[in-house]
Amino acid sequence: MPTEPNDLITGDAEVRAILADPAYLVPPAPPVPVTEHGTMAWLRAHVARFCDGQVHDRRREVTEQELARLNPALLRSAAAELAGTELDRAELDRGELAAAGGEEPFDVMVVARRVPAAVLATALGVAAAARDGAVDAVLASASGYPNPDLAGPGADAGVQFLAAVLGPADAELLATRIGLLEQACDATAALIGNALIRAFTGEEYDQDGAEDAGEIIAGTLASDPPVRRTKRLAPDGGTVTLDLTTCTFGAGRRPCPGADQARALAAGVLDAVLARCELADQQLSYLPSPNLRMPARLLVEFTRRR
């Protein structure tokens, strides 16, 4: 079990006050040489997420402009359609397995992770032929984006691939687009996983699908939030850890600008999964992260109610 940091601030009012206070800065990404391009260090050094002041204001504006191109209603229907296709494939595989005398539930976290990344990549301009490669690249690099110490061996190659398929564009715009995919990846997958557990196990879930996916997601954001912590540098130079369980999209000076898109992508995946799957028998387990509450896997079976 990870140990609790002794600088953890949990009171909602105090957390919100710090997030609104310009004297508390985000831990910055180190700068990279001007000759460096397309690495994880380059990406972190060029996005809004890891800087402050005027540079942040400028990049935040670029971020919001890019997000304004991503219509939530279209993201939801695209996510539902693609999740449906992924489930078709998984169901076919399971059918063949069953015909061969085997039986195996399906880990729907694969859909929770891949579908939002694929839909966002397409909406940001990735060509159809490069889409699956872009999803692999996001998954290979996402762990190193918030914390380079956790970067896997494919992190730099993943960013390099994304830079090739999301460009050409100047460094900040290119990094912003890649950053949107990285920001969305684990947080949205965790939101989907937690919302599916809520829907499958909660009394309020109507088996006929009467409760809208949007309502399930709103309930999940309040009662089982996916993003749990962030950090700030205090004016005295120390680092504080902020508990975000009462404001999982952040608050104050720089809340998540992708909240509408995240809710829409999650709702689309839920629309597809809840229409035809049920929870398989299993012991639920979560990834060992203090910042993110994400099911390690989530086994479902096909109900054939489609």
Residues that bind ligand HEM (CB under 6 A): 26, 48-49, 60, 63, 179-180, 183-184, 187-188, 191, 226-227, 230, 244, 248-250, 254, 256-258, 261-262, 265
Helix, strand, coil shares of the chain, percent, nearest 5, are 55, 10, 35
Q: Which position's Cβ is nearest ligand HEM?
A: 258
How far apart, in whole angstroms, are the C-alpha atoms of residue 37 and residue 44?
11
Token reading at 90 = 């998984």
Kindly report whether the peptide bond that precedes residue 226 is cis, defined as omega within 30 degrees of 0: no
Q: Which is nearer to ligand HEM, 160 or 230 (CB)?
A: 230
| Residue with smaller CB distance to ligand HEM, 51 or 90 | 51
Give the shortest CB-264-to-ligand HEM separation in angstroms: 8
How far apart are CB 290 and ligand HEM at their closest, in Å?
14
Specify the long-range contacts of residues 86-89, CB closer than 8 Å, at least 24 apart: 86/110, 86/111, 86/114, 86/115, 87/111, 87/272, 87/273, 87/276, 87/277, 87/302
Closer residue to ligand HEM (CB): 29 or 191: 191
Question: Do 115 and 83 touch, CB atoms closer than 8 A?
Answer: yes
Which is closer to ligand HEM, CB of 29 or CB of 90?
29
CA angle 67, 70, 71 (to 5 degrees): 130
> For residue 236, which phi and psi values (nearest 5 degrees)?
-80, 5
Q: Whose CA is closest to 137, among 79, 187, 87, 181? A: 181
Residue 243 or 278: which CB sits closer to ligand HEM?
A: 243
Q: Least CB distance from residue 190 to ligand HEM, whole Å?
A: 7
* Shortest distance in whole angstroms from residue 111 CB to ligand HEM: 16
Q: Judged by CB, which is closer to ligand HEM: 161, or 249?
A: 249
The distance of closest approach from Cβ of residue 183 to ligand HEM in the complex, given in angstroms and rounded to an integer, is 4
Rounded Cα–Cα distance for residues 184 and 188 (Å): 6
Closest separation in Å from C-beta 83 to ligand HEM:
15
CB closer to ligand HEM out of 145 and 161? 145
Q: Which helix (H) or strand (E) segment is 15 a member of?
A: helix 12-20
The two structure tokens encoding residue 214: 């949007």
Helix/strand number for the chain, H first, E second = 10, 6
CB of 105 to ligand HEM, least distance (A): 25
